Amino acid sequence: MAETDSAETDLAETESIVSMRGIGKRFAAVKALDEVSFDVKPGELIAICGENGAGKSTLMKILSGVITDYDGTLAIDGKPIRFTGTRDAEEAGISIIHQELNLVEQLSVAANVFLGREKTTAFLFRDDRAMQREAGALLAQLECSVSPSALAGTLRVGDQQLVEIAKALSLNSRILVMDEPTSALTESEVDRLIRVIAKLRERGTTILYISHKMEEVFQLSNRIVVLRDGRFIAQLNTSETNAREITHLMVGREIESLDLGEKPTRGHRLLSVRELSLPWPGHARGYRLKDISFDLYQGEVLGIAGLMGAGRTELLECLFGAAPMAPSGQIHLEDRPIRPRHPSEALAAGMALVTEDRKRLGIFTAMNVGRNITLCELASMRRGLGVNGSLERTAANSMVDKLQIKTAGLQAAITSLSGGNQQKCILGRWLLTKPKILLLDDPTRGVDVGAKAELYQIIRQLCAEGLGVIVTSSELPEILTLSDRIMVLSEGRQTALFSREEATQEKILEAATMSVA
């Protein structure tokens, strides 16, 4: 059970549902939080803003009982309390939707929703029908068509996120923490979530909402709390501030319109794809991709736009030999025909893929920062029967410096890094392989405005060094910022190919919603 401090304190105000005073947390040499204090009133939606590494997620993990070892005082309903785990927090009416999805992939959607709170029959047998029925009703509130009996591991990231939200809704929490809940959702799914949030607030739910998307922050919140480098910077009424001021407070400097510098000169053709198709047995449509054709040139960024389910990820998986079955069509890399059946073959040919699902397919949680970076190049560092430690450290440090990765050191746990810095480690891993073509699947998902600018500049520099880059993104402004050309997919078909000069958000959306039946 939670340990409640009975000592009288003026730190918790009775009119606040949540009070934090002097919250501090250190991970080894890194101070994640430093004397953070603020209050939340019942029924409010408070936006928590800050760059990656600012301490937002750490603070919310303390509130939700994920982190129990910290300095300072947390009070709920005016009573100082210290949770010993997430179950304590749930009993106090607090639940969290994590940025990194937390589902058990081998269990069904319904089993994940009620994990640890399984429903039983009168004879104490697990009642799968009741759980599926109630999970289905929760998903219906989100206007989500996922079957409650489907395995969580078979769902795409956007659907998994909706299952996480359904799980939180099933707890009927008084206080709901949402950590980047829309980072993998389409625009229509975001609209649905906003409608759900409105219903939650009507019944008095208090929401703490972490987001890097300023449009969401200003649409949803009453107040905005800004953190920077683990410290409380400001708390402002949303109606009395603007995105420019919040961004300035987040990064400690002004961010003007992003200037990526001079566009690299387009070189020779690196990649030629003709009539690429990927079947979808058992589905009414019959294909995930059909007749996709395009070219990629040296020094170029080709953006792939489309709604969730359009086939963006599947296209990159086909190129990287990671598709669930062999695609048909022709792929030529520098005029050499290739047909990668496995990622190792694509890697040998000169391709690299940074996946959209950082937790499941990107980082190796049991390995430290250094080994996560060097993993794909360990064979080249072998000396005798083992890996030469000096060579490995030099290689890893070169990527830490090149990509400006914020870490306590190469021995630090990869999980101690912010999402943006984890993403940089994955990018560094692939850059060590010296690829000719870099495939980036929604590379800035869950990354703050400052880190996005850094990643954009890194991508532009890589193009200047002669790479060709294919990037997907669910954010149209990002596609328009990064891309030299933009290919649009709708339901697995190619519906448009724009130059940067002729592309607009309106044209892309029109092509992305085009019927291909």
Give residue limits of the domains in the chain: 3-93+173-251, 102-170, 257-350+472-517
Question: 395 in helix, strand or coil?
Answer: helix
Does 10 score more than 50 pLDDT?
A: no
Q: Are strands 79-82 and 3-4 parallel, antiparallel or unpaired?
A: antiparallel
- What span, in angstroms and rounded, lies between the C-alpha atoms of 108 and 44? 33
Does 5 score more than 50 pLDDT?
A: no
Average pLDDT of the residues in 400-408: 86
What's the pLDDT at 256?
44
What's the pLDDT at 140?
87
What's the pLDDT at 27?
80
What's the pLDDT at 261?
67
Q: Range with the lowest mean pLDDT among 17-26, 134-143, 504-513?
A: 504-513
- What span, in angstroms and rounded, lies between the C-alpha atoms of 49 and 54? 9
pLDDT band (50, 70, 90) for residue 13 = very low
What's the pLDDT at 248?
79
Residue among 285, 266, 265 nearest 277 (CA):
285
Q: Do domains 3-93+173-251 and 257-350+472-517 have the same CATH topology?
A: yes
The verdict on domain 3-93+173-251 having CATH code 3.40.50.300 is yes
Tell me which range, 137-151, 390-404, 486-500, is most confidently predicted by mean pLDDT: 486-500
| Rounded (to 5) percent helix, strand, coil in the chain | 35, 25, 40
Question: Is 445 or 120 the better-scoring residue by pLDDT?
Answer: 120
Tell me which range, 182-191, 237-246, 372-381, is most confidently predicted by mean pLDDT: 237-246
DSSP codes, 476-500: HHHHHHH-SEEEEEETTEEEEEEET
H or E stretch covering 459: helix 449-464
Helices (H), 343-418: 343-349, 369-374, 389-403
pLDDT band (50, 70, 90) for residue 184 = low
- What span, in angstroms and rounded, lies between the C-alpha atoms of 447 and 360? 17
pTM of the full structure = 0.58
pLDDT band (50, 70, 90) for residue 3 = very low
Give φ, ψ of 83 to 5 degrees: -75, 145
User: How does pLDDT run across 123-134, given as a tens digit for each residue?
Assistant: 888 888 999 999
**What kind of architecture, by CATH, is found in domain 257-350+472-517?**
3-Layer(aba) Sandwich (3.40)
User: How does pLDDT run across 34-62, given as a tens digit for each residue?
Assistant: 999 999 999 999 999 887 668 888 899 99
pLDDT band (50, 70, 90) for residue 456 = confident
What's the pLDDT at 359?
72
Distances (CA, A) of 12 to 16, 44, 64, 85, 230: 7, 17, 17, 21, 21
Tokens of 129: 């029908």
- What span, in angstroms and rounded, lies between the C-alpha atoms of 298 and 466? 6
Q: Are strands 45-49 and 223-228 parallel, antiparallel or unpaired?
A: parallel
pLDDT band (50, 70, 90) for residue 351 = very high
- What span, in angstroms and rounded, lies between the C-alpha atoms of 451 and 161? 23
Question: Is 429 or 213 the better-scoring residue by pLDDT?
Answer: 429
Question: Is 313 or 54 the better-scoring residue by pLDDT?
Answer: 313
- What span, in angstroms and rounded, lies between the C-alpha atoms of 157 and 210? 18
